[in-house]
């Protein structure tokens, strides 16, 4: 296809064309001229984007039903968005990860930051989980999967259709294996620990690669320590700390299947005798531990996104403050507290302030010793703050 065969969409005069030229990848619905022709385009249609003066700016994927009505794919309006184009983007992403990691277990594609808007792909050796969270990627899913297999050699691909992002795009929740077959959870070695990732039925893609570097930092603090890992999922911080020499770890999560995988990972890593698990609401468990006078040398709280949108920001900050208030009293004097946020709607300073308030309200004082972010397999697009969603604060209490 060429720019002569594609539909054309146009920015309104007051749209921020300069930001888009400088790399901002989204066009919001109030920035685009939406006439009858544009409004009738099928979700995921590739179109040429013009500024208000009719100067071509690039190729975009259009979804008239989304607040993000257009996503920038390619500056060259003569490019063809097909399997070869997808393969080239995936190959460039893989080349970066191959320089960072000895084994193919990482986030392979991090959406806009890797030039594939709305697309997340996590690799698990010979398997991969893809989240096509934008309409264009759902429409080109067959080509996307074929390109992924061609470039990486993976033989199993799982489509994960859960999550808020697909709902905002008007997409279904049909998660399934789209290529090959799965044979149970996949073992993943990170930071000396073994994790078991449920690619078909687990949270997100089955494992949170973004915390890899923060797991390693926590493990350095935890040698010989008693560790509490709250919102542990499959044992993220707890198993890393045990692998790093922690004396014991208690993993707390609301999901029984996740804790089953944590125990299985501990057994695979030969640390099962030092791991305890407790299923329950994290806030309730923190309160119970406080009433019981329990204490730990290292406490880590890694909750789900309390503020997934701007409208939830204030409530999310109150929740983060509450976590800090309940967790801080459980830390031994001179021990360490790690607090994490994966809410893109909460900036680092606001999260830091909420955490500090919570620690103070918990009757403790603390030094901030380290600020962590997602690993380098989760690159940030400088123009898009949402790609820098993860924050991890480590305090000495």
Per DSSP, the residues of 176-196 read EEEES---SPEEEEETTEEEE
Segment 164-169 shows an average pLDDT of 90
Per DSSP, the residues of 133-183 read -SHHHHHTHHHHHHHHHHHH--SEEEE---SHHHHHTT-----EEEES---
Segment 358-386 shows an average pLDDT of 96
What's the pLDDT at 205? 87
What's the pLDDT at 17? 94
What's the pLDDT at 385? 86
Rounded distance between C-alpha atoms, residue 342 and residue 305, angstroms: 5
Residues 156, 301, 340, 342: which is the catalytic one? 342
Burial class of residue 74, CB neighbours in 10 A (0-12, 13-18, 19+): middle
Rounded distance between C-alpha atoms, residue 13 and residue 29, angstroms: 13
Domains of the chain plus CATH, in order, are: 8-74 (2.30.130.10), 83-179 (3.30.750.80), 186-396 (3.40.50.150)
Q: Which residue has the tokens 């993993």?
A: 251
pLDDT in tens, 330-342: 999 999 999 999 9
pLDDT in tens, 146-166: 999 999 999 999 999 988 889
Contact 88, 144 (CB under 8 A): no
Segment 110-136 shows an average pLDDT of 97
pLDDT-based confidence at residue 1 (cuts at 50, 70, 90): very low
pLDDT beyond 60 at 86: yes
342 classed as catalytic: yes
Segment 189-194 shows an average pLDDT of 97
Encoding tokens for residue 210?
A: 């973004």
Percent of the chain's residues with pLDDT above 70: 99
Taking Cα atoms as reference points, which of 46, 40, 53, 37 lies closest to residue 1? Answer: 46
pLDDT in tens, 33-61: 999 999 999 999 999 999 999 999 999 99
Rounded distance between C-alpha atoms, residue 242 and residue 215, angstroms: 11
Task: With 0.85 as the threshold, say if the pTM is over it.
Answer: yes
φ, ψ of residue 185 in degrees (nearest 5):
-60, 150
Contact 251, 229 (CB under 8 A): yes
Q: Which residues of 341-359 are buried (b: 16+ CB within 10 A; e: fewer)?
A: bbbbbbeeebbbebbbbbb
What's the pLDDT at 172? 92
pLDDT beyond 70 at 393: yes
pLDDT beyond 80 at 3: no
Angle made by CA atoms 290, 294, 297, in degrees to the nearest 5: 115
Gyration radius (Cα) of the chain, Å: 22
pLDDT in tens, 214-245: 999 999 999 999 999 999 999 999 999 999 99
């Amino acid at each position: 296809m060429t720019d002569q065969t594609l539909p054309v969409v146009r920015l309104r005069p007051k749209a921020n064309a300069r930001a888009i030229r400088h790399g901002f990848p989204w066009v919001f619905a109030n920035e685009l001229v939406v006439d009858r022709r544009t409004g009738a385009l099928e979700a995921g249609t590739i179109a040429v984007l013009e500024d208000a003066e009719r100067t071509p700016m690039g190729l975009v994927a259009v979804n008239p039903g989304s607040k993000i009505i257009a996503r920038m794919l390619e500056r060259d309006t003569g490019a063809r968005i097909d399997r070869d184009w997808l393969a080239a983007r995936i190959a460039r992403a893989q080349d970066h990860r191959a320089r960072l990691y000895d084994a193919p277990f990482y986030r392979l594609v991090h959406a806009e930051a890797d030039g594939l808007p709305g697309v997340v792909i996590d690799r698990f050796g010979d398997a991969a989980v893809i989240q096509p969270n934008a309409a264009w990627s759902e429409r080109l899913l067959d080509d996307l999967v074929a390109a992924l297999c061609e470039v990486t050699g993976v033989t199993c691909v799982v489509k994960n259709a859960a999550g808020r992002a697909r709902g905002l795009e008007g997409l279904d929740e049909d998660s399934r294996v789209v290529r090959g077959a799965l044979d149970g959870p996949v073992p993943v070695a990170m930071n000396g620990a073994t994790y078991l990732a449920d690619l078909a039925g687990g949270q997100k893609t089955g494992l949170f690669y973004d915390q890899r570097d923060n797991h390693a930092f926590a493990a350095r603090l935890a040698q010989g320590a008693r560790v509490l890992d709250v919102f542990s999922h499959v044992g993220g911080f707890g198993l890393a700390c045990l692998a790093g020499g922690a004396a014991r770890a208690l993993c707390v999560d609301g999901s029984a299947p996740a804790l089953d995988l944590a125990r299985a990972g501990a057994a695979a890593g030969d640390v099962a005798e030092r791991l305890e698990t407790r299923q329950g609401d994290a806030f309730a468990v923190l309160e119970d531990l406080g009433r019981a006078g329990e204490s730990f040398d290292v406490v880590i709280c890694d909750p789900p996104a309390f503020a997934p949108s701007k409208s939830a920001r204030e409530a999310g900050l109150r929740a983060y403050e509450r976590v800090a208030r309940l967790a801080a009293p459980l830390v031994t004097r001179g021990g360490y507290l790690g607090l994490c946020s994966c809410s893109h709607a909460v900036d680092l300073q606001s999260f830091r302030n909420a955490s500090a308030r919570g620690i103070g309200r918990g009757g403790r004082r603390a030094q901030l010793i380290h600020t962590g972010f997602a690993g380098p397999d989760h690159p940030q697009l400088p123009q898009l703050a949402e790609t820098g969603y993860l924050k991890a604060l480590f305090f000495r209490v």
